[in-house]
Amino acid sequence: MYRVIANGNDIKMMEIILKQIKNLKNAMPDAEIDVVFTRSAVKALLKNSGYGDIIKELINSGVKMNACVNTLRGMKLSKDDVDTSIGIGFVNAGVEEIVKKQAEGYSYLQL
C-alpha cells in the first residue's frame, strides 16, 4: 500500500493542486493520501472559499485534508474560520506533520 503526505502551500495554484490530488487518487485508489495546507493555500479551506465542493469530494473519496494551525494563527484566523463541516481536519504544524509522516514511511509530494 502506498502512503503519501502532500503539501499545498500556494492559493494561486489551488486548482492545479486539487486536480493533482484528484489525479493521484484516481490513479492509485488504494493509496492513503494525507494533504497538509500551509501558507496561503490554507485559505482554500475556509468557509465560502469556493473550493468546498471539490475538497468535500476528495475527502469523501478517502483523502485526508488538514489545515496548519500555525498558519491560521499567523494569518489571524482560527479553526472556526475553516469549513470543518465537510471533514477538514487540523495539524498543529504543517512542517512537523510532514516530517512525522516521512518518518513513518510516507512519500512526500510538494504540490
d(CA 93, CA 63): 19
Q: Which domain holds residue 99?
A: 3-110
Q: What pLDDT does residue 70 have?
A: 98
**Tell me, what's the pLDDT at 2?**
97
Query: How many structural domains is the chain composed of?
Result: 1
State the pLDDT at residue 16.
Answer: 97
pLDDT per residue rounded down to tens, the chain (111 residues): 899 999 999 999 999 999 999 999 999 999 999 999 999 999 999 999 999 999 999 999 999 999 999 999 999 999 999 999 999 999 999 999 999 999 999 999 999
What CATH number does the domain containing 57 carry? 3.40.1260.10
For the beta carbon of residue 58, count every other beta carbon within 10 angstroms: 22
Residue 105 contacts residue 4 (beta carbons within 8 Å): no
